[in-house]
Amino acid sequence: MNQNFWLKTAVSLIILLLITACTVTEARPTIIPTVVTPTPQATAVPPTPEPTTATVIALATPTTPLAAPTAVPTRYIEPTPTPTPNYPMLPSENSLSFALQNQFGGMPRALLVDDSVAYLAVGPRLVAVDVTDPAAPQFLGQSPVVGDALFDIVQVGARVYGAAGRAGLVMFDVSDPTSIQLASGGPNYSGAKAPNATQIVSSNGRVFISNVDYTVVEGDLIWFDLAANGQPTFASSMPLDEANARFSATADLLFIPSKAGIQVVDPQNPTQPLSVIEAGQEVYQVFTAVHHNLPYLIYMDQQGTHFTIYDLADPTSPQIVPQNQPVSLNFLSELTSNDNILATSFTFGEFGYCSSQITIVDTTQPEAPQKTTEFDPQNCISEIAGSGELLYVAGISGLQIFSTSDPANLQLLGTYTNPFGLQTVDDILPGQPTSYVLTSEGRGSIIASLDMAQPTPTLLSQTEPFTGNQILQLLGTGQTIIAPVWNNSMLIFDTTNPANLSQLYAPQEEGEVLSQLHSTALVGSVLYMPMASQYVFSGNLGTFDLQDPSNPQLISSVNTGLQTLETIVVGDGYLYLLEGYEQLKLAIIDISQPLEPKLVSNITLPEDASRLAVVGSTLYAMCAGDRCQSLTVIDVADAERPSILNQWQLPFGVVDSVTIGQRLYTISSDNTVRALDVSQPEQPKVIGAIALPGSYGRLTADENTLYVSAGANGLYMLTTSP
């Protein structure tokens, strides 16, 4: 029998022993199959020529502080399927408490205008803005943080209702816009499907929400009766033909997309359509706007976008109003109207970049609309709203207000960004008194400096957008920021003057350095990055000397023995490198001589992993929920012969992690942060958790403060006790 047979047999017996052990403490450490690789000699690399220095800076004016937030309300946390490996479940207790110290920033996802006040759904808050003077919008107030991100809002009297994802239906009292109160934190309904509210409208004394279950790709229409005080009461629900179907409403009618066309529905009897506007095929989005009592109906099907006008005086028999010159529209994501126009918007974005288009239709003659202009507002649009002769545009760059008095030539009157000065936060390099954040406004990656001396950070400066490949994260050493760039080396900035960041280094062109998220390690003034050949990991890890940050030098490279690279973590004198998806391979590299790294061993893990954390001489291998849900604890005191201490089932996936002392903090894809006590490496346990609004965030720590960079939901600051 060959060696592979005995190796597989040995591994099987090891796993069997782990499964059948009476208690966890009875399981003996298990040697992981190890291949000790002869250490290759470091390969010298000639010095690179000194690059040209470029400096591009845009200073920002300090802004008004945010109001203090309150605790995060409880929201539904989706149950996790039972993992398949027959490992014991990781123990859990509630001996530690998290506190949300504050939340800053966030991108406005939804917008409505009530006379002189605009309401924005910004991340997990409702924000009120005074638009009495459109040229100078002013912050009025904001709500407490709700249980999840606000995806859509609608107003009925002095109440604003929100579709708040896993928090369901929430309600705000806006009788005083300077002091918005959370009247109901949701979800206000229950059933077989978990709350996940994505859209909301009001019609004829009811509110309707779209509730989507993405695990089975199904959607429901749920409706509520409103009491005299505005309190919603669950009435009933029905399935939607399309999970992501977008419905619409006027004051007394609902329009629901279906496989047969567009259902015209009485809000008091939603299950029995009054009529169906046939489209010839399945409709999946419907937009409506009423102008001079004439309903405009725009719908999307597989053939494209259709602009129609209907006479709905008798909703049981809709009559199309002919157009002499039919309006032709491209794809759209939003529709609104004001006194003299219809406006549609469409946005496409990826990798930190965004393209938006607004189309204006002149409705001065309501039955003869004419498309007058199309333009890019330089804002990654989330929603538009019309009022009077004004058009309000909300997006990743904040709020813009346009005059539509001339439908062929809109004029930008004023803009508003939140008091934090930033909309999105993708990463933070915390420090005192200055921290640095990575953000994007759809035009490229931006690095901003913040004064953290006060409870509310103040924006000091920010760089011009980097329009090359996306910046992935921020690393710091001394008075220097290193910003790895996807597939293209790094940028380096001087932070001697935080109010005037200066760029020291930028790659001249795409070269042989392959940078990706979690794959770069900084130890003092030495940077370790994966090397590439035609954008594919070569198996080598490059060693860069940053003592002269304006001229980083590739000193050597070491063969890792890996085919792909998922993540790198730094331990005491070692680097731990994890191979990519389902490869199960780990490399341990000795960096006791930082410029001369040496491969110690390659080992094979018994379970898939995508994240690593190290505390002392113990390594923790974890992975996201879509790949596996397990925790493998490895003793790496002997780097040449590491051994398994234990393996556990995790009732959650891990997308990022950080360590502080003897605690391991993880964050899962639903933005739940958990604390694990790892003071006894063979017996880790969960000791506390907090569910934050929104989805996946980056986790960073500074002393006893945790930071969650939550993208469109802004920045969260957490502390723990005891």
For residues 296 and 303, the answer to whether their CB atoms sit within 8 Å is no
What does the pLDDT average to over 10-23? 37
* pLDDT at residue 518, as a whole number: 85
Residues 479-721, CATH architecture: 7 Propeller (2.130)
Q: Over pLDDT 90: what percentage of the chain?
A: 65
What pLDDT is attached to residue 350?
A: 62
Q: Which helix (H) or strand (E) holds 3?
A: helix 3-20
DSSP 374-416: EE--SS-EEEEEEETTEEEEEETTEEEEEE-SSTTS-EEEEEE
Nearest to 481 by CA among 458, 504, 500, 514: 504
Q: Which of 9-23, 48-62, 173-187 has the highest mean pLDDT?
A: 173-187
Q: How far apart are CA 632 and CA 591, in angstroms?
A: 24
pLDDT at 351: 56
Structure tokens at 517: 């998220």
pLDDT in tens, 420-442: 888 999 999 999 889 999 998 77
Which of 507, 346, 351, 514 has its CA nearest to residue 444? 351
Q: Are 489 and 515 in contact (CB under 8 A)?
A: yes
CB distance 112 to 705 below 8 Å? no
* Cα angle 639-473-417, degrees, rounded to a multiple of 5: 155
Backbone CA torsion sign across 505, 510, 513, 518: positive
Q: How would you class 261 by CB atoms within 10 Å of its CB: exposed for 0-12, middle for 13-18, buried for 19 or more?
A: buried
Would you state the pLDDT for residue 30? 43
Q: Compute the distance between CA of residue 125 and CA of residue 145 in angstroms, rounded to an integer.
A: 5
Q: Taking a C-beta distance cutoff of 8 angstroms, is the pair 367, 321 a contact?
A: yes
Residue 581 has pLDDT above 80, yes or no: no
Same fold, 106-333 and 479-721: yes
For tokens 């509310």, what's the residue?
456
532 vs 253, which has greater pLDDT? 253
Which residues, 6+ apart, have CB-to-CB distance to 88 below 8 Å?
A: 24, 648, 649
CB 400 within 8 A of CB 378: no
Q: What is the pLDDT of residue 14?
A: 38
Q: Which residue type does 320 have?
A: I
- Chain-centroid distance of CA 147 in Å reads 15
Question: Which sequence spans correspond to the domains of the chain?
Answer: 106-333, 334-417, 479-721
Model confidence over 381-413: pLDDT tens digits?
A: 999 999 999 999 999 989 999 999 999 999 999
Across the range 570-583, mean pLDDT stands at 90
First to last CA, the chain: 56
Least confident window among 25-39, 96-110, 631-645: 25-39
Residue 53 has a pLDDT of 33
**CA–CA dist 399, 502 (Å, integer):** 29
Residues ≥6 apart with Cβ < 8 Å to 389: 338, 339, 340, 403, 404, 405
Cβ contacts of residue 435 below 8 Å, gap of 6+?
A: 428, 429, 449, 450, 452, 457
> What is the C-alpha separation between 267 and 202, in angstroms, rounded?
9
Encode pLDDT of 93-103 as tens digits: 999 999 999 99
Question: Which residue intervals of 183-287 are DSSP H helices?
Answer: none
Instruction: Give the H or E element holding residue 372.
Output: strand 370-375
Whether the pLDDT of residue 519 is over 50: the answer is yes
Written as one string, the DSSP assignment of 471-532 is B---EEETTEEEEEBTTS-EEEEE-SSTTS-EEEE--SS--SB---TT--EEETTEEEEEEE
Predicted pLDDT of residue 709: 96
Of the pLDDT bands very low, low, confident and very high (cuts 50, 70, 90), residue 35 is very low
Least trusted range by pLDDT, from 222-226, 450-454, 523-527: 450-454
What percent of the chain has pLDDT above 70? 87
Q: pLDDT at residue 151 above 80?
A: yes
Q: Would you place residue 352 in the very low, low, confident or very high pLDDT band (cuts 50, 70, 90)? A: low
Q: What is the pLDDT of residues 659-713, one digit of tens each?
A: 999 999 999 988 999 999 999 999 999 999 999 998 888 999 998 899 999 999 9
Among the listed ranges 480-489, 502-511, 525-534, which one has the minimum average pLDDT value? 502-511
What letter does residue 606 receive in the DSSP assignment? Answer: S
C-alpha closest to that of 105 among 520, 552, 516, 418? 418
Residue 20, φ and ψ in degrees, nearest 5: -90, 0
The residue whose two tokens read 């009788």 is 175
Please report the sign of the dihedral spanned by the C-alpha atoms of residue 274, residue 279, residue 282, residue 286: negative
Q: Is 106-333 assigned to CATH 2.130.10.10? A: yes
Q: Rounded to 10 degrees, what is the CA torsion of 333, 336, 341, 347?
A: -20
* Weakest-pLDDT range from 1-5, 442-446, 523-527, 539-543: 1-5
pLDDT at 20 over 50: no
pLDDT (tens digit, 9 = 90+) per residue, 486-497?
888 899 999 999
The candidate with the shortest Cα–Cα distance to 676, out of 78, 80, 95, is 95
CA distance 115 to 136: 16
How much is the pLDDT for 48?
Answer: 39
Question: Do the Cβ atoms of 248 and 202 come closer than 8 Å?
Answer: no
For the beta sheet containing 197-203, the strands, ordered from the edge strand earlier in sequence to the opposite edge, are 197-203, 206-213, 218-226, 232-240
- Supply the pLDDT for residue 634: 96
Q: Tell me the HSE value of 695 on the side-chain side, using a 13 A CA sphere.
A: 7
- The tens digit of pLDDT for each residue in 279-334 reads 877 888 889 888 777 889 898 888 888 899 999 999 999 999 998 888 888 778 89
Residue 63 confidence (pLDDT) above 90:
no
Q: Nearest-CA neighbor of 307 among 319, 320, 292?
A: 320
Q: Supply φ then ψ for residue 11, to 5 degrees.
A: -65, -40
C-alpha 205/C-alpha 224 separation (Å) is 9
Buried b (16+ CB within 10 A) or exposed e, 60-94: beebeebbebeebbebbbeeeeebebebeebeeee
Question: Cβ atoms within 10 A of the Cβ of 556, count?
Answer: 19
Residues 6 or more apart from 116 whose CB is under 8 A from it? 130, 131, 132
- pLDDT higher at 25 or 590: 590
**Does the structure show a pLDDT above 90 at 66?**
no
Cis peptide before 507 (omega within 30 of 0): no
pLDDT in the model for residue 722: 84
pTM of the model: 0.85
- pLDDT above 70: residue 62: no
